[in-house]
Every structure is written in structure tokens, then in C-alpha cells.
Amino acid sequence: MDAAIEQFLMLEEYPILDVRAPAEYESGHIPGARSLPLFSDEERHQIGLCFAQKGQSAAVRLGLELIGPKLGSLVDRARAWAPLGKVGVYCWRGGMRSGSMAWLLETAGFEVVRLPGGYKSYRTNLHAFFERELPLVVLSGPTGTDKTGILASLAARGEQMVDLEAIAKHKGSSFGSIGEAQQPPNEHFQNKVFEAFRALDTSRRIWIEDESHSIGKVRLPDGLYAGMQRSPWIWVDRPFEHRLDLLVQSYGSAPISELQMGVERIRKRLGGLECDRALQLLEGGQLAECAALLLRYYDKAYRFGTEKKRAELGRVVHTRSVSADAIALEIIESLQTK
């Protein structure tokens, strides 16, 4: 990572202020940064039109007219967030908007640090970070294995892990949105994944769950996904009946309407007859029978997509343990044997 950006992100006593327009902030921002927009979305649009039609000088003049009445409130908001009078500031490229805000706050007595290159440089460094060879270990296994629970147990035993599904607010399957909050914008999801990795020691192994390139509506950084395909895998082989019990426990209290929508989303891949049968079982309250039908479908699809990688990169941990903690211990023990 660029040293200047690393130093900026380590300003623990400096609240970070994002001075871009609200829509830019909502799409993605440095996690933890507060939104203190110099211009509203509409004002930013007006300035852009002015620049295109009349040039830079006219656009700057319009910007000054728009910001003038807001100067006092901007300082007041910054002071409420930064009582020590120290802030970090960034805009898109580290140009006029962050420069103007820095001038205003410095005039009001703040100590201000600007991010060189702005948010754009942060995103560039994010992608560069994931192009590195990271010490990933991919936890894999068929649907219902409770990979998330096993990851949590590995972390409790001192291992490093990143829970991608928790950050994505999606469990990864057609039913993955059930019981979850709204997913973050794709850009901000990637930022939060980046921050999760930055908090870890990249000289030690980092556990991560086997995922598709997309988790619901968000997408993993390309470099991270490519690295996962090259990294060693641990395949957890749990009995079908154990996995079925876990699925029924996980989704047993979900609204039938949401389960039906999940089934409909895979109608084409499941096949019309099987899809109709699954829906009939749901309507009849036969959740276990429906889950068994769907689990056989997912097992077939998962096996087709992972057999080659398992053969090349992985090892299998066969287990009949019920608890995630016991399975985590078996996995660690398996890594200690050649």
C-alpha cells in the first residue's frame, strides 16, 4: 500500500471526513469516514453543467456562491465530530473539494491532513493489495456444512479469518438473503473486505470461505477471487443427515413466502418438475423433505464446480462431529499432519 495512504488511515486521533457529494459517499467510502459534503448531489450536478457549458472559472465562481452560506455549519459539524480539532479530509482525487475544506477548517483552527490522490487512490491501493499473494486457506464443503460456524470456531482458536458473507449480508445461495439486512453497495462491500484484511497479519494464514465471484448482488475484488482459486483448500465432508438438520434449523422459522421465492429463483436450474415438487412440500409444511430435495440439487451443482480444484489444491476432512468447534479442531489437527 502507498505509504502516504497507510499513514492517513492510521490517523487514530483524526476523524476522517469525506467531503464528496452524498451519492458518492453512499456508493462507497473509506469505512469509518463521516460524510461532510461540500456540495449536495444537485449542487454538484449544477457545477458540472456549468463547467461543461461555461468553463472552469465560471464553475468555480458558482461553487463559491453555493458554499458561502454553509461555511459556518460545516465548521460546526466538523467540530462536533472532532473536538480535539484534528481531522483527515478526502475527496475524489484530492483536488479542489478537499483543498477547499482543508482551507476552511484550518482557518477555523483545525489541524488538517489531506489524503493524497483522494478516494481514487484508496481504491487503486485496494486493488493492488488483492493482487498480492496472500496466505489464504479456503474452507470448502457442500451446502449445510456450517462453514461460517467453523470459521468462527477457528477464529476462537487463534486463527485469522475474514467472514465474507457477514460483510456481504448474504449467505451466498438462492436463499442467502433470508434473515439478512440489505446488502451494501458493491463498492463499499469491497472497501469493507479490504479493511478486514488490512487488520490482519499477512505473514500468517488467513481463512476464508469458498465463495463464487458474486455473493448475492455484490462482487469480490477480482484479485481476491483469483487468489482464492490458487490457494489451498480444506474440504469438510459432513454426513448428509447432519447438513439437513442444520438447514432445517437455519431456515425453519423463515417465512414460507421467502422460501418459495428462493425456490423460484433456481427453477430453471432445478427443473420445472422438481421445482413444483419443492413448492408443494413447502405449502404442505414438509420443510425437511423440501430441504432434502434442494440439498441433493446443491450437492450435485457444488460437486461439479469444485472436483477439479479439490483434486489439485485440497485435502478432505471427513467428520461425523456435530459441533463446529470440534470440526475446527479436526481441521487444525489435519494441517499438522503431512
Q: Which residues are catalytic?
A: 91
Using CA atoms, how far residue 156 sits from 55, 151, 238, 328, 329, in Å, is 58, 9, 21, 10, 11
Residue 90 forms beta bridges with which residues?
18
If one counts every other C-beta atom within 10 angstroms of the C-beta of residue 127, the result is: 14
Give the CA radius of gyration of the chain.
Answer: 25
- Give, for 78, the enclosing helix (H) or strand (E): helix 71-81
Phi-psi domain of 32 (left: phi exceeds 0; alpha: psi -120 through 50; beta: other):
left
Handedness of CA 8, 12, 18, 24 (dihedral sign): positive
C-alpha cell at 289: 423433505
Task: Judge contact between 40 and 70, C-beta under 8 A.
Answer: no
Of 91, 97, 100, the C-alpha closest to 30 is 91
C-alpha cell at 113: 491532513
